[in-house]
Structure 1
Amino acid sequence: MSDNNNGKLIATAIGAAVAGAALGVATVKLLDRRNGQPDQNEGGIISERPKRRSFIYEDPMGADVMANRDSSTTLFPHNHEEKMRRRIAARAAVEEDNLTPRRSVTVRVPATSANVGPGYDCIGLAVDLWSEVTIELADKFEITAEGDGADAVPKDASNFLVLGVKAAYDTARKEMPVLKYHVVSRIPFARGLGSSSAAIVAGIIAGLVLAGHRLPCWGSEALLQIAAGIEGHPDNVAPAIYGGIQVGIHNGTRWVTERVPMPSGVQLVMFIPDFVGKTSDARNVLSDTISREDAAFNISRTAFLINALCMGNLDNLKWGVQDKMHQPQRGSKLYKYLFPMIEAAESAGACCAYLSGAGPTVMALTSGASGDIFAQREKERTDLAVARAMSRAAEQFGIKGKLVVTNAANEGARVVRVEPPFSSDVITYRDNI
């Protein structure tokens, strides 16, 4: 090898060494910056460099704003209740919220279908059948009713509607005035579609509006606490309040509920017998204890049901609604038609079928709906075939009733009219209420 080539190799080695050293220095500086270490400029003067900001939301309020709370802790995007709590704490109190009583209010509330098979006392869905309740200040107490069960509902203070209103005034710590009640009921009375829960929820909401009192929701779900406290469980009142499919529990301190998604295109087909079903009778046929095997069965089916709903796997719903805690007992002692009707509905194309609440209504879920069903080809849907199959099963047992096809309700109870209104020249609310 020539001297010229040797010189080139030596120069290349020296260049590589210098480049490596420079890269090492740059790496150390970069690490110092990421670790929050001060940097030095060419004159040896230390200069502070801003730390890299996290992509996680940080609390914008100072620690002195939140009494007895470390508000400098990191706030993650999913911490919705904590963000709401801090937002409320930072707001000035608006006392007028609790100082504006109303003269009259109308509340619209949906029917509900509880249990959905294995979810005894904890799962329920809102049904697109609605009742309206109007309550107003009056000179004398009076309850009037029209529609389904108008002659059967109590017309005295034992009515669940009155109990709900009283609970609202007790919560507001105000004396309950003399009121007049008018009910337009489109929820079948005592048929396992949550008519009593609808009355409770409507009464509480109406009472709160009339009293001029509002309740916190985030972190407390105060309205749910009152309603579930009267009803004893959340399976009906939770969907009546929030709509959709709700899964509710008591966490040892308060009632908590969460929404489960309803797959698109699902319809509800109900066979509603022409006789009432008493919840007390339906509970009396149940055993106080169940076997470990039956408990494991219901736990697995409940998990399977929730997963099928979340994943939109309609084929798995028929396994998810299976139950050994209440449906076999009620089917054998009260509703002989129950399991033959479930089998007939599923054989005709239903995704699943189950006893709605304490009965006697049988609920079937069908798929294939897209937009308005009356603008869609009947052969693309299964609701008519399922309804006919359920009707034939009822005839075999000499049971008369009616078939109703509707959808799940995405929203729960709401105020539709109020005097004086909430809307003003500054802001207009839905339906100009």
Structure 2
Amino acid sequence: MVRYVDEPVRVTVPATSANLGPGFDSLGLALGLRDELEARVVGSGLLVEVTGAGADEVPRDASHLVVRAMHEAFAAMGATQPPGLSLRCTNRIPHSRGLGSSSAAIVAGLVLARGLVGGGSLLLDDDALLDLAARMEGHPDNVAPALLGGFVIAGQEDGGFYAVPSPVDPRISAVVFVPPTPVRTEVARGLLPATVPHAEAAANSGRTALLVAALAGRPDLLATATRDYLHQEFRERAMPESLALVRSLRADGHAAVVSGAGPTVLCFTDGPARPTAGWATGPDDLLRRCPDGWQATHLDLDTHGALLGP
């Protein structure tokens, strides 16, 4: 019989950036910006407390995405639904900006639920958790790095999902430029064409392969490797300022892309504690390129993924 633990469970989950230019629906990277959550089984009812990003927009009932994910995990583990739940969310990942806030919520809910069940990691291992997260999100490119950390190549095959971690050169970090206005993923996806020319698909495949190698140890190739032919330009109508910033940065040789479905722009750079490595302008110079009204942040890449806390 499944037993719930008495003490609260805490988890932190990183922001993520998918696509990274050419790796549409297949590449994802965890970033050093984390949501923090705490859940506890209580005698009755549902209490959801939210502070930070999206606090004025998300529901406080059972439709909250973290709560929905928790109930999915309880069912997958064969547990009866708990008598009541208390959930606290401290959100730092901006919502509807292409930084994986929904994937972080899903992964957090699944990990919290697993932690609240005695022996939960045996009832729902990481492979099963990833599969459940990808089915809830619809694709694995954000949920995989949110769960595993680092740079992940992910996809779907024969009705299931796969996620393969790939190395990242420790010199690489990123600056994210976050605009004040969100764009919903459904809107951005709705602008994509049903087909693309074969030559452009082939070019995109080559850039995606090159990007894996560039991230692993050839950061000098990142500007070339992040060139996209498949999706970014088609989304311009929903985020013209983002595409203008991408073009401006790339014209100066920077590896700039739309993060996920946008509208955030991500630009690869080197770290603040390291001298500029010759392949990138330092982060301080990039931060000065931030458009008025936007927020720019320099982030290291996250290597841990979802972490249970004390």
The two structures have a TM-score, normalised by structure 2, of 0.91
1:381 deviates by 6.0
1:253 deviates by 4.6
1:349 deviates by 6.0
Higher strand fraction (1 or 2): 2
Contact 2:242–2:264, Cα closer than 8 Å, also in 1: no
Q: What is the CA–CA distance in structure 2 between the aligned matches of 1:221 and 1:259, rounded to whole Å?
A: 13
Please say if 1:174 is aligned against 2:79. yes
Please say if 1:363 is aligned against 2:263. no
Please say if 1:343 is aligned against 2:242. no
Q: What is the CA–CA distance in structure 2 between the aligned matches of 1:170 and 1:216, rounded to whole Å?
A: 11
Of residues 237, 247, 253, the one that matches 2:143 is: 237
1:133 alignment partner, SS class: strand
Alignment of 1:384-423 (within 5 A): 384-389=284-289, 391=290, 394-395=291-292, 400-417=293-310
Contact 2:21–2:257, Cα closer than 8 Å, also in 1: yes
1:210-244 per-position Cα deviation (integer Å, ceiling 9, x unaligned): 122224788x8111111111111111000000000
Alignment of 1:374-393 (within 5 A): 382-389=282-289, 391=290
1:410 deviates by 0.6
For residue 184 of structure 1, what is the aligned residue in structure 2?
Answer: 90
Of residues 120, 124, 128, the one that matches 2:24 is: 120
Q: What is the CA–CA distance in structure 1 between the aligned matches of 2:124 and 2:60, rounded to whole Å?
A: 32
Name the count of aligned residue pairs.
Answer: 306
1:50-103 per-position Cα deviation (integer Å, ceiling 9, x unaligned): xxxxxxxxxxxxxxxxxxxxxxxxxxxxxxxxxxxxxxxxxxxxx9xx656344
Please say if 1:313 is aligned against 2:218. yes
Q: What is the CA–CA distance in structure 2 between the aligned matches of 1:180 and 1:289, rounded to whole Å?
A: 46
Contact 1:244–1:262, Cα closer than 8 Å, also in 2: yes
Q: How has the CA–CA distance of structure 1 residues 111 and 337 changed in structure 2, closer, same or farther, with 3 Å as cutoff?
A: same
RMSD of aligned Cα (Å): 2.4
Contact 1:338–1:362, Cα closer than 8 Å, also in 2: yes
Q: What is the CA–CA distance in structure 2 between the aligned matches of 1:157 and 1:209, rounded to whole Å?
A: 19
For residue 276 of structure 1, what is the aligned residue in structure 2?
Answer: 182
Q: What is the CA–CA distance in structure 2 between the aligned matches of 1:217 and 1:152, rounded to whole Å?
A: 31
1:121 alignment partner, SS class: strand
Contact 2:151–2:166, Cα closer than 8 Å, also in 1: yes
The gaps in structure 2 that reach 5 residues or longer are: none
For residue 69 of structure 2, what is the aligned residue in structure 1?
Answer: 164
Q: How has the CA–CA distance of structure 1 residues 211 and 249 changed in structure 2, closer, same or farther, with 3 Å as cutoff?
A: same
Q: Percent identity?
A: 35
Of residues 251, 256, 276, the one that matches 1:353 is: 256
2:192 alignment partner, SS class: coil
For residue 41 of structure 2, what is the aligned residue in structure 1?
Answer: 137
Contact 1:102–1:211, Cα closer than 8 Å, also in 2: no
1:36-60 per-position Cα deviation (integer Å, ceiling 9, x unaligned): xxxxxxxxxxxxxxxxxxxxxxxxx
Q: How has the CA–CA distance of structure 1 residues 381 and 368 changed in structure 2, closer, same or farther, with 3 Å as cutoff?
A: farther
The gaps in structure 1 that reach 5 residues or longer are: 1-94, 418-433
Contact 2:49–2:87, Cα closer than 8 Å, also in 1: yes
Write the letter of the residue equivalent to 1:403.
Answer: A
Q: Greater CA radius of gyration, 1 or 2?
A: 1
Q: What is the CA–CA distance in structure 1 between the aligned matches of 2:50 and 2:63, rounded to whole Å?
A: 15
1:188-231 per-position Cα deviation (integer Å, ceiling 9, x unaligned): 1111111110000000010111122224788x811111111111
Q: Structure 1 stretch 208-217 or stretch 264-273: which is displaced more? A: 208-217
